[in-house]
Amino acid sequence: MSPALALAISLGLGLLIGLERGWRQRSEHDGGRIAGIRTFGFLGLGGGLCGLAAISLSIWVAVIGMAAIAGAILLAHRARLSEPDDNVSATNAIVSILTALLGMLATTGYAREAMISGGAIALVLSMRDQLHSWLQTLSEKDIRAAAQYGAITLVALPLLPDKAMGPYDALNPRMLWLVVVFVTGLSFAGYWAAKRYGESRGTILASAIGATYSSTAVTLELARRLRKSEEDSATLNAAIAAATAMMPIRVLVLCAVILPSALWHFAAGIGPAILFSLLYALYIVRKAAHRDAGAGVNPQRNPFDFWPAVAFAALIAVLIVLARWTLDQFGSHGATVIIGITGLYDVDAAVIATANLPPGTVANNHIGMLLSLPILANSLVKAIMVLALGGFRRGVMAGLPLWIGAVLIAAGMVFLV
C-alpha cells in the first residue's frame, strides 16, 4: 500500500470517529467540546504521520510524536474537568488517543486491522444510549453469567492444547471445550433474547428461542399441552412449527463452524426441509396471529448452564471414541449406525461425532448424508412423541411439519447417495 493511501485511510478513520463525536457533542457550550470532526481527523492524520516517521526515520520520532499527541489530549481533558458542569467523560480522551493509534497502525502495514477497529469504535460510540439502557435491565445474576461465559471463552479456551490425544488419538481438548462454549453460548443467546423481548410475546416466540437450545424439549412440552382442552391448538401448532424450523438451521450453523468442507453437500441434502419448515412456520404463525398467544413456554432459566454443557461435552468425547472404535472394528457402516442412534437422543452430539471421523474416511457428499441421518431420526422420534403426547386428533396436525420434513430429508439423503 502506498504511503499516500495509508495516510488517506488514517485521515478517513479520524473523520469517521469524529463524525460521531461531533454529533454527540453538538449541543455543548462554547469551549466545552474538546474535539470535533476536524480535530479527530487531524488526530488520525497525526498518528499516520508518526507511523510513516517510524518507518522512514526512527522509531523514536514516532514515540515522541505519539507522546506529544497523548499529552495534548490529556491536558485538554484535564482543563475540561475544571468546567463547572458535570457533563464530563473520559471516553473522549480515550477515543482521541485510540484514533491517533489507529492512524499509526494504518501507515505501518496494518491498514485492515485499523479499519476494522475504527468501524468497531464508531459503532460502539453510536450505541451509547442503547448500551446504557440495556445496562439498567441487568441483574447481578446476568453480570455473573456474562463474566463466567467470558472466562470459559477468552481464558480457558486459548489455554487448552489443540492436538489429538487419548484413545485412537480421537480427542482434541480445545475442540471439546469449544463444544462447551457453543452449547452455553446458545443457552446464553436464548436467555438474552427472552429477556430482551419478554415472555409477553407468548408461546411462539418462546418456543423459537428455546429451540436454539433444545428443540426436542420444547416440542415435547408443547405436545404435552396439546391434550389440555383449554389450550389453543393453533398457537401450539405454530409454536411446534417454529421449533421445528429452528432445529435444522441450528445444525447447519454448527456444521459451518466445525465441518465447513461438507457444508454445501449437507445444505443440499436438508435445504428442501429447511425451506419447507420456514414457509410452513411463517404460514401457520400468521394464521394463529389473531388468536390469544397464551402463557407461553417459560424461557426463564439459568443463563449460564455450565455443568450441563460440560456433561454434553463428555458425552461427545465418549461418542467420538465409540465411533472411532466402531469404525476400526466394522468400517464406515458401523459408524453410520452409531451416529444414527445418537441422533435419536441428541442431533448436535451426532453431528459433532461425525465431524471428528478421520479425514478421508467418508466422501463429502456421503458426509452430507451422514449429517442428515441424525436429523431424520430425531424428526421421526419427535413426530411419534407428538402423536403419543398430544393425542391423535390434535397430534396429527401438530406433527405435520415433522413428518413432511422427515420425508424431505430422506429424499435429500437419497439425492446425496
Residues 67-77 have a mean pLDDT of 83
> For residues 357 and 192, what is the distance between their CA atoms, to the nearest angstrom?
34
Classified as helix, coil or strand, 373 is helix
pLDDT reading at 1 higher than 60: yes
What is the per-residue pLDDT across 220-253, written as a single tens digit (0 to 9) for each?
A: 777 877 877 766 777 778 888 888 888 888 888 8
Give how far Cα 116 sits from Cα of 13, 120, 123, Å: 10, 6, 11
Q: Which residue has the higher pLDDT, 48 or 166?
A: 48
Residues 130-136 have a mean pLDDT of 74
What per-residue confidence (pLDDT) applies to 102?
A: 92
* pLDDT band at residue 85 under the 50/70/90 scheme: low
* pLDDT band at residue 294 under the 50/70/90 scheme: very low
What per-residue confidence (pLDDT) applies to 335?
A: 58
Percentage of residues of the chain with pLDDT beyond 90: 1
Measured in Å, how far apart are the chain's first and last C-alpha atoms?
A: 49
What per-residue confidence (pLDDT) applies to 292?
A: 43
What per-residue confidence (pLDDT) applies to 303?
A: 63
For the entire predicted model, the pTM comes to 0.53
What per-residue confidence (pLDDT) applies to 191?
A: 67
Range with top average pLDDT, 41-55, 131-145, 165-179, 348-362? 41-55
What per-residue confidence (pLDDT) applies to 141?
A: 76
What per-residue confidence (pLDDT) applies to 321?
A: 77
* pLDDT band at residue 296 under the 50/70/90 scheme: very low
The long-range contacts involving 358-365, CB below 8 angstroms and separated by at least 24 positions, are 358/324, 358/327, 361/327, 361/332, 361/335, 362/332, 364/261, 364/262, 364/265, 365/265, 365/416
**Exposure string for 51-89, b = 16+ CB within 10 A, e = fewer:** bbbbeeeeeeebeebbeebeeebeeebeebeeeeeeeee
The mean-pLDDT minimum among 128-137, 252-261, 334-343 falls in 334-343
The Cα diameter of the chain in Å comes to 83
Q: Which residue has the higher pLDDT, 397 or 340?
A: 397
- Mean confidence (pLDDT) of the chain: 76
pLDDT reading at 133 higher than 60: yes
Sign of the alpha-carbon dihedral angle for 65, 70, 71, 73: positive
What per-residue confidence (pLDDT) applies to 297?
A: 45
Q: At CA 248, angle to CA 245 and CA 251, rounded to 5? A: 140
> For residues 374 and 32, what is the distance between their CA atoms, to the nearest angstrom?
63
What per-residue confidence (pLDDT) applies to 185?
A: 74
Q: Which residue has the higher pLDDT, 346 or 414?
A: 414
Residues 68-79 have a mean pLDDT of 80
